[in-house]
């Protein structure tokens, strides 16, 4: 089945062939170019929930601009904020994003991840020297040493763990009351995706898994992750949670998952929000 993956499907052509050509980029910075309206890392939105695009005349002359690419023949840019707040989005932003179209959400996701990276990498990790934006914003170079820095994406596994038709779901202390979701964790150095899934489930819930398979992925610009959705089979049902990671974990039957996904007020838990890949993984599991 086709999953509705939020923040994916950006229609802006990234135009990689133009990034390394300063003259070509300069030629694109005309009154026809578009500037994405942003307040720090948050998007400016119209009353109808659409992204606000202005002209480069609205850009801070002292600030940095990132070249997002070309859409409908027009160059698209985004401003780099002076400071990047890398904390989780506030509830008001989530409410606003719920009304944004999938196309706009994808464009915003690219911009947020990219400009946030620039705001956090103004100094070289190798020598501490100041860095400058280059290649249209898809690279930063150190001004004091030869180091080149590139936007990073952090891989995160997020997995549905199944045993005899039931799913293992957990809740973190920061979740809204009643919400359960798929277990998740960062891929560590030297791990395959399959190894990361097995380690995270064992660490967080004390459950050993096998037969890890890939389902779908999602770019997650908070700040710059790639969520790798997987499915795994548990070898047993005994749970021992890591209280530093989870507040609770338990098994839910198919009818219980169906009730939560349907928004039944009597459901045993609240499903993850539609924008999260965990929600789409649950849809996939129910449709199998």
Using a 10 angstrom Cβ sphere, with 0-12 exposed, 13-18 middle and 19 or more buried, the burial of residue 90 is exposed
Asked if residue 170 lies in contact with residue 246, where contact means CB atoms within 8 angstroms, the answer is yes
Q: Which domains does the chain have, with CATH numbers?
A: 16-149 (3.90.79.20), 154-287 (3.90.79.10)
What pLDDT shows up at residue 101?
A: 96
Distance between the two ends of the chain, CA-based, in angstroms? Answer: 9
What pLDDT shows up at residue 84?
A: 66
What pLDDT shows up at residue 236?
A: 97
Alpha-carbon Rg for the chain, nearest whole angstrom, is 21
What pLDDT shows up at residue 89?
A: 72
Q: Which residues in 131-190 belong to E strands, given as ranges?
A: 131-134, 139-142, 148-149, 154-163, 166-171, 183-186
**How far is the C-alpha of 7 from the C-alpha of 1, rounded, in Å?**
18
Q: What single DSSP character describes residue 58?
A: G
What pLDDT shows up at residue 88?
A: 67
Spell out, as residue ranges, where the chain has pLDDT lower than 50: none
What pLDDT shows up at residue 87?
A: 64
Among 231, 228, 193, CA closest to 209: 231
pTM of structure? 0.94
What pLDDT shows up at residue 130?
A: 98
pLDDT tens track for 241-285: 999 999 999 999 999 999 999 999 999 999 999 999 999 999 999
What pLDDT shows up at residue 131?
A: 98
Asked if residue 180 lies in contact with residue 172, where contact means CB atoms within 8 angstroms, the answer is no
The torsion angles phi and psi of 10, rounded to 5 degrees, stand at -60, 130
Asked if residue 141 lies in contact with residue 148, where contact means CB atoms within 8 angstroms, the answer is yes
What pLDDT shows up at residue 34?
A: 98
Q: How large is the angle between the packed helices 277-287 and 254-261, nearest 10 degrees?
A: 130
């Amino acid at each position: 089945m086709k999953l509705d993956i939020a923040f994916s499907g950006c229609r802006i052509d990234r135009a990689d062939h133009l990034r390394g050509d300063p003259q070509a980029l300069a030629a694109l910075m005309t009154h026809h170019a578009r500037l994405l309206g942003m307040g720090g890392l948050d998007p400016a939105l119209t009353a109808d929930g659409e992204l606000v695009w202005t002209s480069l005349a609205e850009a801070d002359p002292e600030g940095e601009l990132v070249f997002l690419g070309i859409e409908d023949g027009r160059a698209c840019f985004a401003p780099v904020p002076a400071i990047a707040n890398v904390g989780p989005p506030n509830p008001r932003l989530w409410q606003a994003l719920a009304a944004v179209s999938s196309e706009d959400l994808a464009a915003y996701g690219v911009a947020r991840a990219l400009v946030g990276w620039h705001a956090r990498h103004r100094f070289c990790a190798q020598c501490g020297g100041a860095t400058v934006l280059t290649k249209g914003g898809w690279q930063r170079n150190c001004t004091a040493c030869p180091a080149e820095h590139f936007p990073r994406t952090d891989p995160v596994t997020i997995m549905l763990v199944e045993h005899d038709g039931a799913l293992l779901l957990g809740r973190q202390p920061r979740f809204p009351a009643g919400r359960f979701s798929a277990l998740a964790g960062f891929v560590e150095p030297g791990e395959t995706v399959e190894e990361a899934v097995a380690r995270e489930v064992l660490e967080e819930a004390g459950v050993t898994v096998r037969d890890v398979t890939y389902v779908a992925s999602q770019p997650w610009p908070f700040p710059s992750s790639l969520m790798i959705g997987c499915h795994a089979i548990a070898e047993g049902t005994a749970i021992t949670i890591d209280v530093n990671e989870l507040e609770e974990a338990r098994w839910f039957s198919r009818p219980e998952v169906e009730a939560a996904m349907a928004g039944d007020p009597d459901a045993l838990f609240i499903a993850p929000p539609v924008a999260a890949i965990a929600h789409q993984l649950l849809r996939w599991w129910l449709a199998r």
